[in-house]
Chain A
Amino acid sequence: MAGDPSLSATEKAVYELEKSGADIIEIGIPFSDSVADGPVIVNAAQKAIKRGVSAKGCIKLVSKLRKKIKTPIVFMTSFNIPFSYGIEKFLKDCSKAGVDGLILPDLPFEEAKAVSSSAKKHGIDLIFLIAPNTPDGRAKKLASLSRGFVYLISLTGVTGARKSLSLGIGENVRRIKRYSDKPVAVGFGISTPEQAKQAARHADGIIVGSAIVKKISEKKAVGNFVSSLKRAICTC
């Protein structure tokens, strides 16, 4: 989450994430009322907003990061943030700053026309999510629309750590693979190397959010944790 505990802490964390082997770095732009998020990300967002962190500040942060890192950067936020910023301007500014992709969890593809076309124009991958309860026809459509990779939600519920990994990830990955050859990354509820390992058996990538946000928020180093995740999923 950008700006929790501070934008400079976020900046430092990103360097650490790259060094520890993250393949893609997702940066959250805080939104006051993100319904898809659990307590960890909600609290981090609240704290960042209190510090005055805005979309503008997050875009500026990426321009700065881009000078030093090569890892793809993806923004994740609620739709009201780019909507309020101005959709076309948001994507243009993101592109200029060096943002590679965008995830808007509360924007179903039916409502995404304006964002899709601006994203395409400015060379930003708009990544769609597929949920375990997404019907086949819809999942197929989402997989075909999604750019870069397909984000598979591991469970029905909000973001945040869970004691155990949801069953059925394997089946859901296989179902997406049947109609798409894009990489599938699994997220929501993955917080330990063991869970990462289990999920990575099926998927091309795993996405860890809350567990990392929590560490950064508590001013702890994330490097070792991310290296351990990376080791757990490495088949080599």
Chain B
Amino acid sequence: MRYDQPDQHGYFGEFGGSFVPETLVPCVQELKQAYYASRHDKKFKKELAHYLKNFAGRPTALYFAEKLSREYGFRIYLKREDLCHTGAHKINNCIGQILLAKRMGKKRIIAETGAGQHGVATATVAALFGLKCVVYMGSDDIKRQALNVFRMNLLGAEVRAVDAGSKTLKEAVNEAMRDWMANVRDTFYIIGSCIGPHPYPVMVRDFQSVIGREAKYQINIAEGKLPHTVLACVGGGSNSIGMFYPFIEDEKVGLIGVEAGGKGIRSGMHSAAIAGGRPGVLHGSLSCVMQTRDGQISSTHSVSAGLDYPGVGPEHSYLNKTGRVKYAVVDDKEAVRAFHLLSEKEGIIPALESSHAIAYLKKLRGRLSNKDVVVVCLSGRGDKDLDIVRDFLNTKPRVN
């Protein structure tokens, strides 16, 4: 079946739209025009392809994980977004958006960040193009992702701590939007996930869908067929939508998004907006949101800062509703176990975000044949998470 979401108003079925203060309406409209004028423009596409290849290091490898495959009894491939410049898929979107910012003549870049990966990627492209860059980051995230703060500083970006509310990604987005409202004329807001008002969800999806396009091509060469299942973690949902989108019309390919279960859905301390939320409006779009009975946005928890967000991109809410994508939950402990497993078995230290997708492989054991192929989006590398994992298990470096 042909898939042609969203409509011209940015709706994926009933989800999406553009819910922003009047001051931002002209900004999102300007962005929408610029994006739709550029997305099929030859020069823009050429420029984008150039930087993706020569700066970000694309295409990234699709790696056959032999030992993991043996362990689980089906053929596992990892889409190595961790090998992208800056260590995660975030750079794909940042290159696209900053090229757009340049076209629009914007002089100043702002961004929010959770784990710091999007902040680092934004600071990187801002340095590349010589634009001023301010990154908003929750003060709790600043503590747990200190290394990435230092990386942003090195790249010349100003990191502004956000001390409100749960002091994580949600508050960072609030502050970035407030900054944008005050600086509408010269500022471009690079949102890091497929959230926010139209056109962000569709734009971020398009820039990230290079992941799925490459993976589809690569798996065809490696296996001569499409995968049985594609797995990716879902916070806001940018790596997953980028991975899934090129497979949506291939109805035989199972798509599974893995949300962060934190300390368990029942505990309420999680970040699984689809499993534990209901429709609501947060940060400019209508989607599944974790909220109280009164409509207040809930505070969230995940061991992974990049998934620690109460909302999810509207396209995911739509794909969940239509059933095209199945959404599952993996908790903190399972994710940390997968973090260790991949490190030990394959020599790849995954980001805690991506570890959620890896952890789901265990749940497929026994349900697939040894010829079935599963592709996992390894959205980022885990260096930034070493302190968290050490604290989580209370382990000390081992020296014998």
Contacts and interface: CB of A to CB of B under 8 A. Distances in A.
A10 B83 CA distance: 56
A42 B175 CA distance: 11
A131 B22 contact: yes
Interface residues on A, range: 35 or more
Contacts of A56: 294
Contact of B23 (A32, A107, A133, A135): A133
A138 B283 contact: no
Given A35-B181, A42-B164, A156-B184, A80 B280 contact: yes
A54 interface: yes
Interface string B154-195: 000000000011000010001001100111110000000000
Interface residues of B, number: 35
Contact of B174 (A33, A81, A156): A33
Interface string A58-84: 000000000000000000001111011
Q: Name A's interface SS.
A: loop
B93 interface: no
Interface in B19-35: 19-23, 25-26
A13 interface: no
Contact of B177 (A35, A80, A85): A35
B296 A49 contact: yes
A106 B281 contact: yes
A199 to B, nearest CB: 18
Contacts of A153: 22-23
Contact of B295 (A80, A111, A130, A131): A80
B222 to A, nearest CB: 44
Given A31-B296, A35-B178, A46 B165 contact: yes
B280 A106 contact: no
A134 B26 contact: yes
B390 interface: no
B201 to A, nearest CB: 15
B377 interface: no
A75 to B, nearest CB: 14
B294 A84 contact: yes
A54 B294 contact: yes
**B19, B280, B293 — which one has the most chain A CB atoms within 10 A of its CB?**
B19
Contacts of B283: 33, 35
B18 interface: yes
B21 A36 contact: yes
Contact of A33 (B9, B181, B282): B282
B164 A46 contact: yes
Given A80-B280, A83-B281, A157-B182, A31 B22 contact: no
A107 B21 CA distance: 7
B17 interface: yes
B297 interface: yes
B170 A83 contact: no
Nearest to A135: B26
Given A32-B296, A108-B18, 15 more contacts: A33-B174, A49-B296, A80-B291, A81-B294, A83-B279, A83-B281, A84-B293, A108-B19, A108-B22, A110-B18, A130-B22, A133-B23, A133-B184, A133-B185, A156-B183
28 contacts: A33-B170, A36-B23, A38-B178, A46-B165, A54-B294, A78-B281, A79-B281, A80-B289, A80-B295, A84-B291, A85-B295, A106-B21, A106-B284, A111-B18, A128-B22, A129-B21, A131-B22, A131-B23, A131-B26, A133-B23, A133-B184, A133-B185, A138-B25, A153-B22, A156-B183, A156-B184, A157-B23, A158-B181
4 tightest Cβ-Cβ pairs between the two chains A and B: A84-B295, A157-B182, A54-B294, A131-B23
